[in-house]
Structure 1
């Protein structure tokens, strides 16, 4: 058998048995082969020797062939890489842009990382040869561009590793979840930019929920203006309440960019948090030095200039900043290498004196947004959390079980506080944790019914997890062991001490309470470590509570702990006698403590203590304290204390607080599991009965509370169903705020109601889109008052109907001016059967054609345009003898009675005069008078 055959044309074929290997045009000389002088078919060779010799020949052939293939591959690789290096010198070329996009998509693999290393080595060789060729300018350009590309790839790789996991609530102590597995799209609104700093946290969450009714946009749409060619937007401000998802939104954006899925026009992204920047408050850096500190890849690539790149700086959490940003008196810095304080660097970066070509994205809670002057903000967006479908999607991803999802969403509908707060992603996480625990432990009868109940279960869940992690199996049976008691007590103290100052504290604060910060993070499950390991700084670690509501809950628990365990009334700042635990003393002092909490909350018009008081009241119940047995030295609230508190709250309701404060008091009753007032008021919710018996102030508040607590979304509110009066509207004003459509027509309203509607239209919590005030005697004065609310940027009415409201030219002019200042929402305006006058109608008609206005439909009576309305004259034959007519019988003056002959149409026992003209159908006229005058209409005959 021939193992090796050589054909005449230079082809070589190696064959063995039925298989063969062939290589055409190998261009190898047999003179280079080993054993060339030895004949393989020598009769002196054994079969085994010939086989070995053949294998040696084959191995040599493969070696030669592989060397040639390797040479060819190296040449192709170098040729392609040199071509790409050439493209890097022309970054505007489509080839370079497309290649960068493709490399971003496949980055992260071992192959991609190895290729990146190969490219860096080849770059060094290319630069060496260019400089030997005296092509220094070309080498410098290549080096600059290539370093940027290398920097970008390393930056993306590091950011992808940093942001690919989401630690829900527990920060680094929790079980990481891949962001893409749990992320649910958030609602974002560009409809409003006003502050809500005067709202309580519960009011802010309602405000965010209300904003979900405004048009929502995607993250791409929000960020689009930042990188639009020729665009004027340099800085984007994203606002939202605590836990609404601002940080997760930026995290998802960064991850999408780092994975090459979106935002391809951005070359470099530098994300910071104000928390970590605050740690450098006493340090001085240049901007380049700061970037090199936080992003070492920029230092490795020696990137020091950023003007030629599309750069985005992200600053998350302005509300948690301890830096003083002075935009009026701060030092001016224009050089990226100049060293100064971090405060000055940020001020100049935001102001645009430093790196004016870069783009900025700042996120904050609403109350802190005013730290940046509005003229420096190019665009404002509000993160409004989850809508109903998004809640369902989140719970489906989180719980996996359809039955659990159904139960949790059904349960949320029964509790207004939970339903409102569950549009906040963090609260969805808390609810999912609690309900998952309850369902898994088969505690079907212990499904949380109040806000305090939910958070108490949450505390139990986190404590159980911590006990399982830090104790042996024999110790985990005791829920409130020594370690857990110390941890909860210290965290409660921090929560209470920082309740009115903010929720950020330091490592030393934990250590002073005897808690290891590393243990506390996992042990409690209530903290977030807001430090950043990437800076490798040795400053003190910074912590905060996972959500403001968790801080408020722990503060309430701490007040109760100090009262029962240490005989201290923190609210009255009073050390109680040591015999506090004697039954009578305990009842009396506990009642005083809780009443003091209610009184203090009522004095805070912005309601910032509302949730704290709700938690404190809920924890005082015996049903909740039974869970705390072992943590509290004495548990249980007697029926007498609860009944006294219910009476006290009802007494406060009877003192006619504002409707908003009344809702707070009714929520207090809810936390005490008292439904007596709600049951009492149910009769008023049956059609017709409300007119037979006038409700008291507390009953009016209960009506509003029940409507707001309804499972059904308040799409339409019709005042006539309850009470067609100014008083009814005043008490049910919170319901109007929460409704989509308010039907207030034919309700006997006056200008007093217009004044009451101003705070509704100006409220950030307002969901109102349609307002019908037709056929109420509002007059010019009422519309002028209403116009104050219509000017508010928070007002997002798209339909306003005021047909037949006795509005004249002055009132309509006020209305026009109000709409002119806020033209972006109203689509339909009904002014029929009023008298706006030709001039105002011309202005409103022009507004329909003005692209700056959204107004599409303007309704008015056709006769109004020609100023044809009823012009009456007085009939002398009907005038009483003490009335004197003048001005062509258009004016009547009361005077002395004059002798006149009897007239058939004169009514002798009334001082009156009739008009000479009759009217048919619907008519409009105006009368001016002074003194006491009655005006009426009667039928002819």
Structure 2
């Protein structure tokens, strides 16, 4: 090759004669073309593999490569030194390829030859990587297409790629200890607060620029939430090259298929699941980035023992499958591979937290998602809307629909019943629902309404199959086994009965996986329901304890004994895995639930008696138990609901609605109340327990109050001891409380201290109302220390707590450092000018507080002046309320000067002060310049006509003010005239409370021109207003109450119902097109006036209400 290249070169440059060019064309064309092609191929090969060479090269491989290139003179000594001088390995490899390709074909050929002849793992990766990855992606794509689930992917707006995972700090207590449905019920399917969202594309990426990518990622979610759907979507997206391009190989394993393996090595396992990967050592090497997915760890037949598992670091060594999985997660095996584990929360809690780098949670359907899902899939004959209406009436079914798989079951079953066009009512309990579901599947595709299914058809194979499926489900449930092999099915007589369209294929899902074929029930709840049907039937004839499948037990005869036994086992199960099973078992004693299964279950004549027995038994359990209502106890109330024995449930719910629980909360009532906190519409937005609780009942209900979002505990006479309990509530990791009102209690400084400790750790509470307690300055200091650290609370109400100057100073210190607090109410706390000055100093630097309420204190002019100085520089405060603070003209002057500079304040309340004409004139000057202020309240001051006239002159030109309150200011006709003239040119004013004398109507966008006997404006004032309203189009409501039009010396009908005055009002109705409401309440209009009013209404098209 070298000699041929030299010959061609010499021939080209030295031997050719210029005028003989044509003589050499034919002779050289073949050889030159071949050399050129060879050179091009070498260069293309290097360029094609350059990225892989940089990606997979190691320091040792680079050393060997440089030695070879030096030996064949492809790299000089100086070039070698330059290469070694580069700091990063990546840069060194890049320099090698750059130098070699620049020298031409000989050097490029030398590099290519070295790589192709090398048997190192790096060289094999460089040569084969792209082809292996391409084939692997094609295989995975085919598998994904074959295993597409019926899930939300078919609803575009609920597509997995449009949703996000939730990044969580860890598992909550309820996730670690309770049944999936209990978790969903207690939290009403609400996600935890303040969680960061994480898109699937970010799953393996570091969260910050300085953090590392996670090695072990854990994704949790209840059964049926969509964990496998997420995994398949991720695999599909990666296989299509849309995400995680830096990952060379994704190896997804369904953990249930590992149950068929006893002993295996890591490399052999990869080859079993992915036979096309002929060299697993390359895939599992540290040179390329590999992701192992263990989907469904909760379905593993072995309990992963992270403490005692034998250590293994050799991927070629065969170990037991549980040791293999444990060592992979621990990082002993394949430490350079990323691992993604999905499982239900209960099992996830068994993995030591130190091994997991990132925990994410899959959110379920929100109510909006449920509605969207129904409208998309069940739009035929408006089924979606009908199902939604039914779910809203039965919250327990709505909450279950948080789980997408259960949402399918619920919706499909309800549509099946509605399509049948029978007189059957829609199911109200979960037991009824699943009974209809099984009945639907048993009919083997024969829709109701055409030809009724003969009962004897259901009495045959389907009844036997249901019994076998129930037995499989029951003993699987006891063993925490949720996936089954063909051998398991045969053992329970379910092998030849899975014919097309039979009950078996309706409730069992068959999955052909790479290693084996598995079966599972459509959802965990269906397994629990079928287990309950088996126990319901078997307990009537069993003579031994059914919970002992293969061992002898004491004789147990009769349904009632077996029923008691089931509840005993349920109450003793720490993880609550039998909770839903006993709900279904109880529900099957209701005739309404048994009716759809009449052809599948043998129904005895004594079912009614058994229902009465069960009701009495459950109510007896409600009375007993410990001092605290646990979720095990609350499950008893769920059972009463399934039994459709609802007297006690209805009684407590009515008391809750009426606020009459006080003195009635026995332990049984507390248990039922705990249940209502889960399912009652009364508790969906807020839980109002005002005037209902005491220390004992709070202690009893404490675990259930955790999951309320808005908790109202007002007027309960709580003292400091209760605050210790509530402090523990707010400190709990599971706390969901976002708003809490403790107003009108007797909380002192000790109680405040307990609350302050809780606020140091709480991460959910955003609003706290402590109005009318006895916190005092000392208690305020405790809370202030917590508020300096708390980064969640945005609103706190200290109204009427005697915090005084010392407390105000403590809160001022909070405002200096807290950057979350938005609203602070310290009304009626004996705060003087000193406290106001401290708060004002803090406001000069605080940029988060938007609402400050200082009403009914003792600020005086000095306090107002201090606040004015703050307003001159603070432009983030939006609302300042200074009602009843003895502010006179002096303080008003300072405030109005600040308003000329301030560009943030939109609401200012100065009612019930001592502001006179001078202060009003200064405000008028400020309103000429300030167009940010929207609401101004000057009620009950000393403005008189002169002051109001000044303000009226300002609002002619002001375009920001929309609400102005001027009642109780000794206003007479001249001021009213000035206001009327102002309204002629002002088009932004929406609310004007003018004269005083009575309460203004509580309506939005209100124009209130009410004037009392003391400030009668007379006929002339009415005329001025009516003239102004002819052209003003921004006002919405005119309230002409009786007192407004009453003159000291004239009868009412002489004022308004004379022709002229009524004509003004009628003219207004005809002209003004913006009015929505007109009231003549209390007005005795004459017949002619009424006729004129009627004529005006024939042309008016805007009036909506006439009183």
TM-score (norm 1): 0.66
Change (3 A) 1:303 1:406: same
Change (3 A) 1:199 1:855: farther
CA distance in structure 2 between the aligned counterparts of 1:403 and 1:79, rounded to whole angstroms: 67
Residue equivalent to 1:715: 685
Listed as ranges, the matches of 1:79-158 within 5 Å are 83=44, 86-91=47-52, 135-139=112-116, 144-158=125-139
Change (3 A) 1:276 1:809: farther
Deviations 1:391-422 (A, max 9, x none): 22333444353612112222222223212211
- Kindly indicate whether the alpha-carbon contact (under 8 Å) linking 2:186 and 2:707 is maintained by their aligned counterparts in 1: no
CA distance in structure 2 between the aligned counterparts of 1:480 and 1:335, rounded to whole angstroms: 56
- Do residues 206 (structure 1) and 206 (structure 2) align? no
- Do residues 671 (structure 1) and 651 (structure 2) align? no
Specify which of 550, 554, 563 is matched with residue 539 of structure 2.
563
Residue equivalent to 2:739: 770
Q: Note the C-alpha offset of 1:387.
A: 1.0
Residue equivalent to 2:386: 407
- Kindly indicate whether the alpha-carbon contact (under 8 Å) linking 2:185 and 2:678 is maintained by their aligned counterparts in 1: no
Change (3 A) 1:129 1:575: farther
CA distance in structure 2 between the aligned counterparts of 1:856 and 1:297, rounded to whole angstroms: 61
CA distance in structure 2 between the aligned counterparts of 1:203 and 1:450, rounded to whole angstroms: 15
CA distance in structure 2 between the aligned counterparts of 1:488 and 1:383, rounded to whole angstroms: 33
Residue equivalent to 2:247: 266
CA distance in structure 1 between the aligned counterparts of 2:469 and 2:425, rounded to whole angstroms: 26
Task: Give 3-state SS (helix, strand or coil) of 1:427's partner.
Answer: helix
- Do residues 749 (structure 1) and 718 (structure 2) align? yes
Which stretch of structure 1 is more off in the superposition, 388-397 or 377-386? 388-397
Q: Note the C-alpha offset of 1:198.
A: 1.9
CA distance in structure 1 between the aligned counterparts of 2:572 and 2:322, rounded to whole angstroms: 36
CA distance in structure 2 between the aligned counterparts of 1:789 and 1:517, rounded to whole angstroms: 61
Which stretch of structure 1 is more off in the superposition, 565-574 or 194-203? 565-574
Residue equivalent to 2:298: 319
CA distance in structure 2 between the aligned counterparts of 1:736 and 1:495, rounded to whole angstroms: 34
Residue equivalent to 2:461: 483
Specify which of 518, 524, 528 is matched with residue 552 of structure 1.
528
Residue equivalent to 1:38: none
Q: Which sections of structure 1, spanning at least 5 residues, go unmatched?
A: 1-71, 95-127, 170-174, 578-588, 869-919, 922-941
Q: Note the C-alpha offset of 1:799.
A: 3.0
Larger RCO, structure (CA 8 Å, separation 6 or more):
1
- Kindly indicate whether the alpha-carbon contact (under 8 Å) linking 1:239 and 1:383 is maintained by their aligned counterparts in 2: yes
Residue equivalent to 2:474: 496
Which stretch of structure 1 is more off in the superposition, 485-494 or 291-300? 291-300
- Do residues 159 (structure 1) and 130 (structure 2) align? no
Q: Note the C-alpha offset of 1:866.
A: 8.5
Change (3 A) 1:844 1:664: same
Q: Note the C-alpha offset of 1:431.
A: 1.0
Deviations 1:655-678 (A, max 9, x none): 576445554333222222233234
- Kindly indicate whether the alpha-carbon contact (under 8 Å) linking 1:130 and 1:136 is maintained by their aligned counterparts in 2: no
- Do residues 288 (structure 1) and 267 (structure 2) align? yes
Task: Give 3-state SS (helix, strand or coil) of 2:539's partner.
Answer: helix
Q: Which sections of structure 2, spanning at least 5 residues, go unmatched?
A: 1-32, 56-104, 837-883, 886-1107
- Kindly indicate whether the alpha-carbon contact (under 8 Å) linking 2:263 and 2:318 is maintained by their aligned counterparts in 1: no
Which stretch of structure 1 is more off in the superposition, 545-554 or 350-359? 350-359
Listed as ranges, the matches of 1:446-845 within 5 Å are 446-465=425-444, 478-504=456-482, 505-516=484-495, 519=498, 523-525=503-505, 533-535=513-515, 542-564=518-540, 570=546, 589-591=558-560, 593-595=562-564, 597-598=566-567, 601-602=570-571, 607-655=576-624, 658-660=628-630, 663-681=634-652, 684-685=655-656, 687=658, 694=664, 697-699=667-669, 701-702=671-672, 705-706=675-676, 708-711=678-681, 714-720=684-690, 723=692, 725-726=694-695, 729=698, 736-757=705-726, 760-761=729-730, 766-779=735-748, 781-783=750-752, 796-802=764-770, 806=774, 825-828=792-795, 833=801
- Kindly indicate whether the alpha-carbon contact (under 8 Å) linking 2:740 and 2:767 is maintained by their aligned counterparts in 1: yes
Task: Give 3-state SS (helix, strand or coil) of 1:137's partner.
Answer: helix
- Kindly indicate whether the alpha-carbon contact (under 8 Å) linking 1:496 and 1:552 is maintained by their aligned counterparts in 2: yes
CA distance in structure 2 between the aligned counterparts of 1:858 and 1:349, rounded to whole angstroms: 53
Change (3 A) 1:843 1:307: farther
- Give the count of matched residue pairs: 732
Q: Note the C-alpha offset of 1:792.
A: 6.8
CA distance in structure 1 between the aligned counterparts of 2:679 and 2:152, rounded to whole angstroms: 36
- Do residues 194 (structure 1) and 171 (structure 2) align? yes
Specify which of 366, 374, 381 is matched with residue 395 of structure 1.
374
CA distance in structure 1 between the aligned counterparts of 2:421 and 2:106, rounded to whole angstroms: 74
- Kindly indicate whether the alpha-carbon contact (under 8 Å) linking 2:264 and 2:318 is maintained by their aligned counterparts in 1: yes
Q: Note the C-alpha offset of 1:452.
A: 0.4
CA distance in structure 2 between the aligned counterparts of 1:859 and 1:176, rounded to whole angstroms: 46
Which stretch of structure 1 is more off in the superposition, 485-494 or 83-92? 83-92
Deviations 1:672-723 (A, max 9, x none): 22332344446535646556x7465545555555564334662223332x52
CA distance in structure 1 between the aligned counterparts of 2:519 and 2:124, rounded to whole angstroms: 42
Residue equivalent to 2:8: none
CA distance in structure 1 between the aligned counterparts of 2:269 and 2:682, rounded to whole angstroms: 53
Listed as ranges, the matches of 1:304-453 within 5 Å are 304=283, 306-323=285-302, 325-328=304-307, 330=309, 333-401=312-380, 403-443=382-422, 445-453=424-432
Listed as ranges, the matches of 1:53-68 within 5 Å are none
Computed over aligned residues only, the root mean square deviation of the Cα atoms, in angstroms, reads 4.8
Change (3 A) 1:740 1:294: same
Task: Give 3-state SS (helix, strand or coil) of 1:753's partner.
Answer: helix
Change (3 A) 1:283 1:806: same
CA distance in structure 2 between the aligned counterparts of 1:799 and 1:750, rounded to whole angstroms: 20
Deviations 1:909-932 (A, max 9, x none): xxxxxxxxxxx99xxxxxxxxxxx
Deviations 1:550-578 (A, max 9, x none): 2221121111111346677747977677x
Change (3 A) 1:731 1:383: same
Change (3 A) 1:441 1:518: same
- Kindly indicate whether the alpha-carbon contact (under 8 Å) linking 2:155 and 2:376 is maintained by their aligned counterparts in 1: no
- Kindly indicate whether the alpha-carbon contact (under 8 Å) linking 1:226 and 1:234 is maintained by their aligned counterparts in 2: no
- Kindly indicate whether the alpha-carbon contact (under 8 Å) linking 1:396 and 1:402 is maintained by their aligned counterparts in 2: no
Change (3 A) 1:296 1:434: same
Specify which of 237, 244, 248 is matched with residue 229 of structure 2.
248
Q: Note the C-alpha offset of 1:220.
A: 3.0
Task: Give 3-state SS (helix, strand or coil) of 2:458's partner.
Answer: coil
Change (3 A) 1:298 1:713: farther
Residue equivalent to 1:37: none
Task: Give 3-state SS (helix, strand or coil) of 1:217's partner.
Answer: strand
Change (3 A) 1:318 1:702: closer
CA distance in structure 2 between the aligned counterparts of 1:247 and 1:774, rounded to whole angstroms: 47
- Kindly indicate whether the alpha-carbon contact (under 8 Å) linking 1:829 and 1:858 is maintained by their aligned counterparts in 2: yes
